[in-house]
């Protein structure tokens, strides 16, 4: 069965929000011919300039039936008229499923398609989104979320994870896996994976705690309490906890777990070290505790990640 996919862009759209998912569907179509046909749509159609200045050619918004509608994010405010046209179009369209990448969630919310649903968007837009659409159950810590027939994803590269999840939903895990390999994506990240890891890696939004993050990474096997981290940062525990959460978007304890998780994941996927040793050197202490952290943070146990890495 051929599924028609409409990807919607607007002036100031983010190029990767569009290119990532469309490339994934293109490759899936190669592996299973007759699965997908794609069309790029925009208000008025024609040449549409992205946020980078590069342009794509789109057809005008059409009332033709589509299986899947995907709304690209980007600088939505560059053309509020275009945004209003997309919202009005969404309100009258019927599709089997609707999805958004990054700030495209704002357009879904404005059309009322996220009312009462769980959704996500780029971490940097969460404050504005929550204030603008309190009726949406925002979960900004997720890479992507499916709530019924509506899918939303976090910033930019998460659009590829979203597309792979849609492909898996349509064609099964084997086609999704082969598509990911062709894209040179190591594997599809589970929707439950946190999008905050990059913020932690950078030491927060302004880089204030970059030095501390590096020190934490070098001492993962040791106890890393709030008190010890605060002392390292020359702050009181209370002020440190508040400042760190404001910078990184997560608590110091969650940041420690995230660093341990990512270090352990790398060791599991790239080495033959036993889980007991990996749990010890990354500060989890034992394999059981490490497994529980993997299920919370990645939605998969360590064993599954090692098997996938060797597939």
The per-residue pLDDT for range 262-276, each reduced to its tens digit, is 889 888 877 889 999
Last residue of a domain, one of 154, 182, 210: 182
| Neighbour tally for 214: CB within 10 Å | 12
pLDDT tens-digit series, residues 206-215: 778 888 988 9
Tell me, yes or no, whether 172 and 202 share the same domain.
no
At residue 201 the predicted structure's pLDDT band, cuts being 50, 70 and 90, is low
- CATH number of the domain to which 26 belongs: 3.40.50.880
Tell me, yes or no, whether 169 and 220 share the same domain.
no
Q: Mean pLDDT over residues 154-175, rounded?
A: 90
Give the count of domains, the chain.
2
Q: Helix and strand tally (H, E) in the chain?
A: 14, 10
The winner for highest mean pLDDT among 9-23, 141-155, 166-180 is 9-23
The answer to whether residue 191 is domain-embedded is no
The answer to whether residue 39 is domain-embedded is yes
Tell me, yes or no, whether 258 and 121 share the same domain.
no
Its domain, for residue 59, covers 3-182
Tell me, yes or no, whether 169 and 110 share the same domain.
yes
Give the C-alpha separation, 51 to 74, whole Å.
7
pLDDT tens-digit series, residues 146-158: 999 999 998 778 8
Contact 120, 138 (CB under 8 A): yes
Question: Is a pLDDT exceeding 90 seen at residue 189?
Answer: no
What residue spans of 93-172 are helical by DSSP H? 104-110, 126-132, 158-171
Last residue of a domain, one of 130, 149, 182: 182
Tell me, yes or no, whether 224 and 169 share the same domain.
no
The answer to whether residue 23 is domain-embedded is yes
Q: Mean pLDDT over residues 103-121, rounded?
A: 95
The answer to whether residue 111 is domain-embedded is yes
Q: What is the pLDDT of residue 99?
A: 97
């Amino acid at each position: 069965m051929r599924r028609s996919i409409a990807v919607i862009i607007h002036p100031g759209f983010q190029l990767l929000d569009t290119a990532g998912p469309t490339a994934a569907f293109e490759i899936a179509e190669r592996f299973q011919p007759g699965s997908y046909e794609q069309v790029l749509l925009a208000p008025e159609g024609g040449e549409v300039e992205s946020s980078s200045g590069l342009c794509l050619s789109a057809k005008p918004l059409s009332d033709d039936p589509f299986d899947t509608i995907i709304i690209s994010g980007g600088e939505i405010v560059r053309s509020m008229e275009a945004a209003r046209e997309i919202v009005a179009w969404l309100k009258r369209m019927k599709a089997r499923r609707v999805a958004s990448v990054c700030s495209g969630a704002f357009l879904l919310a404005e059309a009322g398609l996220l009312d009462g649903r769980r959704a996500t968007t780029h971490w940097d837009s969460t404050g504005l989104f929550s204030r603008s659409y309190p009726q949406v159950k925002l979960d900004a810590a997720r890479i992507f979320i499916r709530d019924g027939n509506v899918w939303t994803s976090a910033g930019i590269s998460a659009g590829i994870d979203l597309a792979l999840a849609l492909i898996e939903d349509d064609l099964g895990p084997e086609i999704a896996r082969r598509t990911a390999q062709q894209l040179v994506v190591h594997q599809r990240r589970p929707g439950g994976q946190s999008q905050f890891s990059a913020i932690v890696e950078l030491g927060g939004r302004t880089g204030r705690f970059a030095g501390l993050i590096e020190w934490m990474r070098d001492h993962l096997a040791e106890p890393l309490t709030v008190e010890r981290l605060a002392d390292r940062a020359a702050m009181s525990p209370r002020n440190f906890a508040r400042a760190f959460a404001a910078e990184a978007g997560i608590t110091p304890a969650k940041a420690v777990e995230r660093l341990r998780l990512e270090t352990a994941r790398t060791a599991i996927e790239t080495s033959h070290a036993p889980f007991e040793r990996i749990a010890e050197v990354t500060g989890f202490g034992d394999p059981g505790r490490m497994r529980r952290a993997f299920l919370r943070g990645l939605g998969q146990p360590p064993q599954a990640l090692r098997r996938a890495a060797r597939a």
